[in-house]
Amino acid sequence: MAVIGGLWTALNYPTAFILFLVLFLVFVIWLLPKIWRAVKRLFHRLGRFFGNDKEPPLETRSPEERAETLKSLFMDDGRPADSLKK
């Protein structure tokens, strides 16, 4: 039914259709990252519930833990620790 209504609107009121389409796309762009974050959290919690005791994702760690992780990945001069020295 929504497809028929959308086609009718597009044919009879094209400017209104374009306006609603743009508003819908802006809404989807705003909402998708929030949905993705919620899905990731849900699967992470389900994994913990079923016995997956891995470290939490980086964004759920404290700033101090994140800083330690970054320091362990990079040398003092800012290059990755696994880069080849010449």
- The domain spans of the chain are 2-54
Per-residue model confidence (pLDDT) at position 83: 56
Per-residue model confidence (pLDDT) at position 63: 78
- Confirm whether pTM is higher than 0.75: no
How far is residue 69 CA from its own chain's centroid? 21
| Top-confidence residue, 31 or 70 | 31
Task: Write out the two tokens for 30.
Answer: 């705003």
- What CA–CA distances, in Å, run from 73 to 67, 79, 83, 85? 10, 9, 11, 16
pLDDT for 1-56, tens place per residue? 889 999 999 999 999 999 999 999 999 999 999 999 999 889 888 888 888 766 65
What are the backbone angles phi and psi of residue 80, rounded to the nearest 5°?
Answer: -60, 145
Task: Write out the two tokens for 31.
Answer: 């909402």
